[in-house]
Amino acid sequence: MEEKKEFKPYIPASKITPELTVTSIVMGVILAVVFGAANAYLGLRVGMTVSASIPAAVIAMGVIRVIMRKNSILESNVVQTIGSAGESLAAGAIFTLPALFLWANEGVMEKPGILEITLIALIGGLLGVFFMVPLRNALIVREHGVLPYPEGQACAEVLLAGEEGGSNAGTVFAGMGFSAFFKFIIDGLKLVPGEVSLEGTTKTYPGAIGTQIYPAVMSVGYICGPRISSYMFAGGVLSWAILIPMIVIFGAELVLYPGTESIGAIFAASGTSGIWSTYVRYIGAGALAAGGIISLIKSLPLIVRTFRDAMKGFGGAKGAGIRTEQDISMKLVLIAILILTLAVWLVPAIPVSLIGAIIVVIFGFFFATVSSRMVGLVGSSNNPVSGMAIATLLIATLILKVTGESGAAGMQAAIAIGSIICIVAAISGDTSQDLKTGYLLGSTPKKQQIGEIIGVVASALAIGATLYLLDSAWGFGSDELAAPQATLMKMVIEGIMGGNLPWGLILIGVCIAIVVEIVGIPVLPFAIGVYLPVQLNACIMVGGLVRLFFDRMKESDKKKGIINNGILFCSGMIAGEGLVGILLAVLAVFGVGEVLDISGLLNLPVWASNIGSLVVFALVILSLLKFTLWNKKAK
């Protein structure tokens, strides 16, 4: 039997190089806040976030190696470790916390304070990091060669390609610039509408189709690829081209709960969007909830095996004197977890009881283990964070109701528990990928773990202000910020606490999800498509089609470079649009946004506005082609 070779990282354990420096901390914190804000905006719009690890790594390489002329790959790795924490914390927060704002807008409770949001995010993020410390040896070291951690390996490859760091960073920054320009034209100056739509206005066929023209939305489709994009688009077609027309055609004279007037009257007053908001979004919510639970059930064997293996390896790595095996002290980790658990219970700003705090620590460690294993096998993009949050909310809300915590207080406690668990799962997955990158490169785990903590603290301090800003500018649940996951979490809690949901519509969505699962289509992207506007799904599909074109090119030295350049450019476009979205939100809050609006001066007819929108969208696509297909340096 062949003896297993000992793994040797790129930087040997015996070699000491700069890692956790002032430069890496400052750059990492800036990127954590930037990508956290950008992903919060993106996730609230389309219900999905994208990994910030690779663009953060590319920017780090571009600045540290090319601009500062420093040859320090481990320093660059710490930058992306800190920077990527912002995206993960934002993902966990936006899937749940906007529900508190939605309830406040309905008069159910007061708006959450920035301190409450910050503490929830901070505790969830820190628990996610600390839970991963004892799991590193079991999942990263012992399972090396078994768990690939795709984003972690990809990030390591990017950092190793140091000689290309400058041009790659330029591609990311170019994407940010182009996207910022287009976003400002569309939503700042409002030179053209952000959406082109064809809608049936009679009962003959009351369906709708169209597309948005936003760079970030198209970029999501390119990064996710044609398969995921097509599943989302198919879900949108089902909602807007089949379900809505059927509801209007067959039920025009009916008054169906939760509507308060006839379906025909709703359609006459608000068109297809009125039918969607009154009925179809509940069908989409049912499909989303079922999809999350189905993905969790399918993962059960893996979950049980992971938890068992993690318990065996809880003691940590032996030989901690070796640099590449040094973790944060286990004693310190256990004390920190105890303090954070007590803080959940005792800090007045967090509306959670002792029972809730116990639920947090038990479910938190369990789902941290699950999340780490899942991203190791299928990548962060397929990590069922929302499914874990739904499962937690179902159990936590039932326990709270049985123990007498009901009404607004019980709902607030349930969402706080769900938020912490969701952030724990998201940060654990991100930390795992970062530790895998560090393991391949030869980083010091302890310094990476400290970097994760710094990234979590910086992001937690920024997320509260970001959520308040976005809510003040547009409002969660609006066309601009649909906040699909948070709306779903709100529905789940309301349904258990008050029993006032249209369960018939939700069960239709559950049955759709089951049918989709039976025919072998991934449920979650399809369910997100059912929930979101078809125009948004169509824009994502356009990005997926561009990626499909590249994927089907003949194999050559240039093909991989073209595809990778596209991923970097699209990552930049997502960041650029997110940042301008935040800027426009600031301007809207202070009333400056109306001054920029020149749409009234143009006063174009609808057909001319639609042509202008399509021209701008064509320019968005051409900018992507310029830095991919027509980039002579792609290699």
pLDDT at 481 > cutoff 90? no
Average pLDDT over residues 424-449: 92
The rounded distance, in Å, linking the Cα atoms of 121 and 459 is 8
Looking at residue 577, what is its pLDDT? 82
Convert the pLDDT of each residue in 511-529 to its tens digit: 999 999 999 988 878 888 8
* Average pLDDT for the chain: 84
The structure tokens 């999340």 sit at 371
Q: d(Cα 155, Cα 36) in Å, to the nearest integer?
A: 18
Mean pLDDT of 350-372: 86
Q: How far apart are CA 118 and CA 126, in angstroms?
A: 12
Instruction: Check: CB of residue 484 under 8 Å from CB of residue 536.
Output: no
Instruction: Give the CA angle between residues 330, 334, 335 to the nearest 5°.
Output: 115
Q: Which residue has the higher pLDDT, 218 or 63?
A: 218
pTM higher than the cut 0.85: no
**DSSP classification of residue 279:** I
* pLDDT score recorded for residue 582: 77
pLDDT tens for residues 564-579?
Answer: 888 888 878 887 887 7
pLDDT at 387: 63
Q: What is the mean pLDDT of residues 208-234?
A: 89
Q: Are 449 and 19 in contact (CB under 8 A)?
A: no
Looking at residue 188, its pLDDT comes to 86
Q: Give every CB contact of residue 287 below 8 A, 6+ residues apart in sequence.
A: 235, 509, 510, 512, 513, 516, 523, 526, 527, 530, 531
- Judge whether residue 4 has pLDDT over 80: no
Per-residue pLDDT of 310-354, as tens digits, reads 566 555 444 456 888 888 888 898 899 999 999 999 999 898 989
If residue 195 lies in a helix (H) or strand (E), which one and from where to where?
strand 195-199
The residue-averaged pLDDT of 578-599 equals: 77
d(CA 426, CA 128): 8
H/E/C letters for each residue in 299-337?
A: CHHHHHHHHHHHHHCCCCCCCCCCHHHCCCCHHHHHHHH
pLDDT per residue over 157-187, tens digit each? 777 765 454 567 778 888 889 999 999 999 8
pLDDT score for 274: 87
Strands 208-212 and 195-199: antiparallel
More confident residue, 324 or 582: 324
Q: Burial, 251: exposed, middle or buried (Cβ in 10 Å; 0-12, 13-18, 19+)?
A: middle
pLDDT of residue 256: 86
Mean pLDDT is highest, among 60-74, 272-286, 492-506, for 272-286
Predicted pLDDT at 586 = 77
- Average pLDDT for 575-598: 77
Based on DSSP, count helices (H) and strands (E) in the chain, helices before strands. Answer: 26, 2
Q: What is the DSSP string of 432-475?
A: HHHHHHHHHHT--HHHHHHHHHHHHHHHHHHHHHHHHHHHHHT-
DSSP-derived secondary structure letter, 110? P
